[in-house]
Copies of this chain bind each other. A is one copy, B any other.
Amino acid sequence: MVSTDDHSNDAKELEVMLSRIQHIIVDYVQKGQEQLVPVVNYHTPEELYKLFDFNLPNKGVGLEGIFKTINSTLEYSVNSWNPRFLDKLYAGTNPIGVISELLLAVLNSNAHVFHVSPVLSLMEIEVTKAVGQLLNMGEKAGGILCPGGSASNLLAMITARNKLFPSIKTEGYFPRPFHPQSKYGKLKVFTSIHSHYSIDKAVQVLGLGLDNIVKVPVDHEGKMQVDILEKLIELSIQKDETPFFINATAGTTVLGAFDPIKDIAMIAKKYHCWLHVDGSWGGSVAFSDKVMKTTSWLEGSEHADTFTLNPHKLLGVPLQCSMLLTPHEGHLLFAKSNSSRADYLFHGNEYDIGAGTIGCGRRPDATKMFMAWKYYGKDGLGGRVDKALSLASQFTTMVRERKGFKLVQDPSPFLQICFWFVPPTIEKHVESLKGKEYSLCLSRITRHLHQQIREKGEFLVDHSPLEGIPDFFRVVINAPTLSLHRDLERLLDVIEEVNASVDWSELL
């Protein structure tokens, strides 16, 4: 069967393809989860160019050809079903995740206007409302799906600027010099030094300039220091600047710290700033009754003007699935502050969610979260969070008690376990170093071991730098199939094994 532009038999063709790919997929999932294959068959780009056929032909390759490509793609890709993929804040997905994507693929729909995606638009309205309510945002809670956490954070900042300074939407920043009595000075954004770089990107996109982000210091746990935030805002006002946007992070990228939202909200209110919470990573704990009852992590979320939450991270929904939530009128907030006239498309329907985005056509990503919630229930999703937290705590203990390993933070604030490994054979030498030399040495050890582990492919973990301290391993606990002994203890063994084969005297 070679298909070119004859589509009269698409249903049959799809049936043949689905039947054929099904066992390939099931086999791939099983081998990944049971670790019969490594996380990745590591190859450099140069090697991959030799191993994989990237040629794009004039004549189509047909069914046999395309299945060769599909099989090669799986063979050389990262198998994220393997719980030893510990590298990023997302993990593999799950059966209903795959089925939801398949459903979206078949529908090939577009969540910009209601009349082309009626069910999917209402799913988006309902599921953002329900998640907003988990954050105690009340009856008017709602939101909109964006293509990733950075996009949600960007839309939050645009919305804040357009709501607080509507003239900028039409006039831009330019009239200011011509109107010295202008109501605003340099617009300033406040965020912690540990917040995600998407805040920086948003600031530069908006034309505010990276110099106009004020990075607030964090305490020893990585949380924003609220007293210093206030001082920095005061200082900014004294310089005739205009603080307008505060970003609090719920679950920082590297350490997993939760900024104290409730205290920050009071500052935001006092200085008339927009409060955004970047809960891309940590926001999903709202599904856990246990976390909501026993921690203060999300306390004050209801005071956020906007809140980013990525179900594609901690909840296992396939990437991309990111929500921007708000207690102010749901998605209509965004339509009111961001819409451009597009009469050919939007005919004034409040169910046309796309009006609030900075785009036009849009994947109906909310469907995947809707389906995950239906299938697992709030309790199932919350259970996933609890399980990860329990495992993180056990693994922290394991690292603490193991010779040669040193926790960056103890206890680990959330689901990232960050640690150094100091090779016992050179421990004395390392510990004798001071300041920058110590830091450089430990960073070099981390990076060298990390590179070796990545090339083995048995595990994927990341290494992270953080201002002022040596590079360290960051292990993200997320996948519900992850096991303390089979996987995490084995990781520590692998680090030791790799270390045993290194001649440090040559490298340091």
Contact = CB atoms under 8 A, between A and B. Distances in A.
Interface residues of A, number: 163
B92 A98 contact: no
Contact of A10 (B94, B172, B198): B94
A254 to B, nearest CB: 5
Contact of A360 (B15, B108, B121, B197): B197
A232 interface: no
A116 interface: yes
A404 interface: no
A375 to B, nearest CB: 5
Given A54-B123, A59-B380, 17 more contacts: A5-B383, A7-B480, A15-B26, A18-B18, A57-B377, A59-B377, A66-B99, A74-B103, A77-B107, A77-B109, A78-B117, A80-B109, A109-B319, A173-B207, A343-B465, A344-B462, A344-B466
Interface string A37-76: 0001001010011001010111111100110011011101
Interface string A238-260: 00000000000000011000000
B207 A172 contact: yes
A177 interface: yes
Nearest to A43: B118
Contacts of A27: 11
B109 A78 contact: yes
A102 B98 contact: yes
B169 A209 contact: yes
A-side binding surface: helix, strand, loop or mixed? Answer: helix
A427 B286 CA distance: 62
A208 interface: yes
Contacts of A295: none
Interface stretch (A148-156, A215-223, A433-441): A148-156
Interface string A83-123: 00001101011111111111111111110001111111111
A118 B22 contact: no
B58 A378 contact: yes
20 contacts: A3-B95, A7-B94, A7-B480, A17-B99, A18-B22, A18-B25, A21-B102, A29-B106, A54-B123, A57-B374, A60-B375, A60-B376, A66-B374, A77-B118, A108-B319, A198-B359, A205-B205, A210-B340, A312-B361, A344-B474
Contacts of A76: 118-119
Contact of A116 (B362, B371, B460, B465): B460
A4 B379 contact: yes
B207 A65 contact: no
Contacts of A175: 209
A3 B95 CA distance: 10
A164 to B, nearest CB: 13
A204 interface: yes
Contact of A210 (B169, B202, B359): B169
Contacts of A342: 197
A24 to B, nearest CB: 9
A127 to B, nearest CB: 7
A289 to B, nearest CB: 10
Contact of A200 (B207, B319, B340, B464): B340
A171 interface: yes
A406 interface: no
Nearest to A176: B177
B318 A374 contact: no
A57 B4 contact: no
A176 B170 CA distance: 19
Contacts of A225: none
A320 interface: yes
A476 to B, nearest CB: 12
Contact of A4 (B5, B106, B319, B376): B376
A211 interface: yes
A452 interface: no
A21 to B, nearest CB: 6
Interface string A366-398: 010011011111111001100100000000000
B90 A120 contact: no
A448 interface: no
A186 interface: yes
B197 A371 contact: no
Contacts of A43: 118
Contact of A57 (B3, B211, B378): B378
A253 B95 CA distance: 38
A503 B217 CA distance: 71
A235 interface: no
